[in-house]
Homo-oligomer: A and B are copies of this chain.
Amino acid sequence: MTDLLNSPEDIAFRREIRDFVAAELNPDTRDRIRRGAPLRHEDIARWHKSMYRKGWVAPTWPVQHGGAGWSARQRLIADEELFRLHTPPLPNFGPRMIGPILIRFGSRAQQQRFLPAILSGADWWCQGFSEPGAGSDLASLTTRAVPTDGGWIVTGAKTWTTFAQHANRMFCLVRTDGQVKKQEGISMMLIDMDAPGVSRRPIRLMDGTEEVNEILLDQVFVPCGMVVGEVNRGWTYAKALLEGERLGIGGIGRCKHLLGRVRHMAQGADDALADARLAELEIDIMALEATTLRLLAAAEAGVPLGAETSLLKIRGTEIQQALTELMLDIAGPAALVPVAAGSNEDVFENVVCQFLNWRKLSIYGGSNEIQRTILAGQVLGL
């Protein structure tokens, strides 16, 4: 695909990333990513170490906290190149989610304790927001924190907690005041996964993976120092956290990576309809990227980014889902046979798995229905 960000500085930055990846990325890991195989923890952990040594774990953090100090433009380029080069995506929970929140709202003690461990990979975080009864309607959560001597006693259940099996810490929304408007009685707490009362039940997904979990909190003691910012202001922090990297939400790097895979699959298939669909989706990615760059230009000129970035989330996920659907079409029956059977072509081995897994894109992080409601309400004033 055509690279749209291609100034001399952009090209130099791309080259730096390529050289780094060429030197550091394990070929076996690269190959797994290229084929769309499910991520293995060891692949991610190893790559995390390389990125840590390079100082690139935290793209959005300021340099004084150990971040990469990249501009928004560089972050987009890095996202694109790292996907293009088949590096495993690092989990967002530490570097992109709780890290920036602690930098903005955390205590000095929290920053000193947690930020270096996020960078080094000593700590792995997971997210405790959703609950069995509160998915899209996050604010109706019912996990309760009752004040006690020196802290809080937390009881409840969290769900869809991705990669909790690898995490030793969780940031968590809990209700600290049940008497006020539902958004106003929520606090954000940092919980040790090995604290007494924390237990985990893996949830098997339809693609056969167990990447998400239910986390049960049974009278878990959380010290006062582990509340982020002010008590009862957790909703504000959660919104800031979920908005996160607004420009990256479209997942352009991921889209292009996926497009490359589908194009590879379609080679020699001689299917005019599939070829046309592939071209349309490539164009959709261009439009997503052009829109991202237009917003980037506004952001660089100091215009604050708002709810309009919901469109990047909607389009990015629509494109990725359409690409996995096209994969299914191109693969045909070959996609249905398990790899273990050894009878299907390597190139199609993860097609069904990825199709199924990617259904989540339009559900999580604010479903696409929620995103459209945000656009209508906050951008169009309806």
Inside 8 A of A276's CB, which chain B residues have their CB?
273
Inside 8 A of A273's CB, which chain B residues have their CB?
272-273, 276
Report Cα–Cα, A272/B272, bound state, in Å: 7
A254-282 interface (Cβ within 8 A of B)? 272-273, 276
Inside 8 A of A272's CB, which chain B residues have their CB?
272-273
Report Cα–Cα, A276/B272, bound state, in Å: 10
A61 to chain B, nearest CB (A): 47
A272's nearest neighbour on chain B, judged by CB, is B272
A273's nearest neighbour on chain B, judged by CB, is B276
Number of this chain's copies in the assembly equals: 2
A382 to chain B, nearest CB (A): 16
A98 to chain B, nearest CB (A): 39
A377 to chain B, nearest CB (A): 20
Report Cα–Cα, A295/B235, bound state, in Å: 52
A276's nearest neighbour on chain B, judged by CB, is B273
Interface string of A352-382 (1 = CB under 8 A from B): 0000000000000000000000000000000
A251 to chain B, nearest CB (A): 28
Report Cα–Cα, A276/B276, bound state, in Å: 12
A307 to chain B, nearest CB (A): 25
A277 to chain B, nearest CB (A): 10
A272 to chain B, nearest CB (A): 5
Interface string of A40-53 (1 = CB under 8 A from B): 00000000000000
Report Cα–Cα, A276/B271, bound state, in Å: 12
Report Cα–Cα, A272/B273, bound state, in Å: 8
A152 to chain B, nearest CB (A): 41
Report Cα–Cα, A276/B273, bound state, in Å: 8
A58 to chain B, nearest CB (A): 46
Interface string of A263-307 (1 = CB under 8 A from B): 000000000110010000000000000000000000000000000
Report Cα–Cα, A273/B273, bound state, in Å: 7
Report Cα–Cα, A273/B276, bound state, in Å: 8
A212 to chain B, nearest CB (A): 29
Report Cα–Cα, A230/B273, bound state, in Å: 59
A195 to chain B, nearest CB (A): 44
Report Cα–Cα, A67/B304, bound state, in Å: 70
A249 to chain B, nearest CB (A): 30
Report Cα–Cα, A272/B276, bound state, in Å: 10
A273 to chain B, nearest CB (A): 6
Report Cα–Cα, A85/B272, bound state, in Å: 35
A227 to chain B, nearest CB (A): 42
A158 to chain B, nearest CB (A): 30
A367 to chain B, nearest CB (A): 19
Report Cα–Cα, A347/B320, bound state, in Å: 41
Report Cα–Cα, A272/B274, bound state, in Å: 12
Interface string of A202-241 (1 = CB under 8 A from B): 0000000000000000000000000000000000000000
A109 to chain B, nearest CB (A): 52
A247 to chain B, nearest CB (A): 34
Closest 4 CB pairs of A and B: A272-B272, A273-B276, A273-B273, A272-B273
4 example contacts (A-B, Cβ-Cβ < 8 A) are as follows: A272-B272, A272-B273, A273-B273, A273-B276
